[in-house]
Amino acid sequence: MDGVKIIGVGKAVPKKTLTNEEIATFVETSNQWIKERTGIEERRIAIEETTTSLAVSAAKEAIDEAKIEAETIELVIVATASPDSVMPNTACLVADALGIKNATCFDLSAACSGFLYASEVACSMMRVGRYKRALVIGAETLSKVVDWEDRGTCILFADGAGATLYEGTNENKVLAFKTQSDGSGAKYLELSASYKANRFHQEEPQHPFIVMNGQEVYKFAVTKVPQNIKALLEETPYDVQDIDWFILHQANERIITSVAKKLGVAEEKFFKNIQHYGNTSAASIPIALKEAQNKLKKGDKVLLAGFGAGLTWGSMLFIVS
């Protein structure tokens, strides 16, 4: 048994909705300005929720959909750039909340590409026969690391979690991954670690918020993502016209439109929910996958693609079971 399939997907978002109009009350912007440049109309902001609690809620939904017992999960990976703590890792806290004992649990940091990176790691570990079921979660509370006076970032980033359950199978449904990175572009999207000075380290405090060069990130995404998708498909029997649905990281509607044009694919094949959630980083793709479920049918070929800080990017192709 060296195949893998998806057996459950879940999502969780905070209760509070923050609209463009509300942001315009404390930053010089407008609803129209944000919508025209990003496609975002509103986003969710965690007040009572945490990265861990959102991850747990999303995982529970995926487990319920899969109709399995949580304790049968042997591997838990959480992709996040905004954990509640460095130690213990989020995955251990999630496993404990779900009643999962003795599983391998760790966090993975690849920013907005994190869910795809974590999925590739999980599926690779499953294919060697070590694990039968793996839970992969993308979870973020980016609102706590956003400068709410910086119009360039505060209109974009938001909070949420998405979870996917993978199971070993004889008939493989997860067909291919293609992940890449380029550290020379690290300066275009950064979030410094928050360490305090002590006896041996007296560095000046670093900027504690997300810093982004939007133009450079845009150019990177619209160039690398289509190339990556084509390279992935070259490793399969399919081409872009064979794909039934594309689910991209929901960072900017203009990026999705540009990728569709460069691939020569009708934009109607690209699922979008950015208008409601904004950019939830590692949570973006699994949240979108959950919301796209009512459009997917058995046998559909679905391509996921992400891109983010690192710079990192990647794609994944699977068939709906």
pLDDT score of 196 more than 80:
no
Quote the domain boundaries for residue 129.
Answer: 3-171
pLDDT of 114-165, one tens digit each?
A: 999 999 999 999 999 889 999 999 999 999 999 999 999 999 999 999 999 9
Residue 249 catalytic? yes
Same domain, 99 and 181: no
Residues 6+ apart with CB under 8 A from 36: none
Closest CA to 13 of 189, 185, 140, 128: 140
pLDDT for residue 37:
96
pLDDT score of 1 more than 70:
no
**Cα–Cα distance for residue pair 26/19, rounded to 1 Å:** 12
Q: Is the peptide bond before 311 cis (omega within 30 degrees of 0)?
A: yes
Q: 20, 92, 249, 252: which is the annotated catalytic residue?
A: 249
pLDDT for residue 285:
98
Q: What is the CATH number of the domain that holds 49?
A: 3.40.47.10
Q: 20, 89, 92, 112: which is the annotated catalytic residue?
A: 112
Which of 171, 192, 218 is the last residue before a domain boundary?
171
Domain count, the chain: 2
Same domain, 276 and 138: no
pLDDT for residue 207:
72
Which of 171, 205, 232 is the last residue before a domain boundary?
171
**Cα–Cα distance for residue pair 175/236, rounded to 1 Å:** 8
pLDDT for residue 320:
98
- The answer to whether 8 touches 68, Cβ cutoff 8 Å, is yes
Same domain, 136 and 279: no
Sign of CA dihedral 217, 210, 256, 179: positive
pTM of the model: 0.96
Closest CA to 159 of 256, 4, 49: 49
Closest CA to 290 of 116, 162, 112, 122: 162
Which of 124, 140, 171 is the last residue before a domain boundary?
171
Residues 6+ apart with CB under 8 A from 115: 79, 136, 138, 162, 164, 282, 283, 284, 285, 286, 304, 306
Sign of CA dihedral 321, 7, 172, 123: positive
pLDDT of 67-99, one tens digit each?
A: 999 999 999 999 999 999 999 999 999 999 999
- The answer to whether 92 touches 152, Cβ cutoff 8 Å, is no
pLDDT for residue 200:
83
pLDDT of 35-69, one tens digit each?
A: 999 999 999 999 999 999 999 999 999 999 999 99
Confidence of residue 213 (pLDDT cuts 50, 70, 90): very high
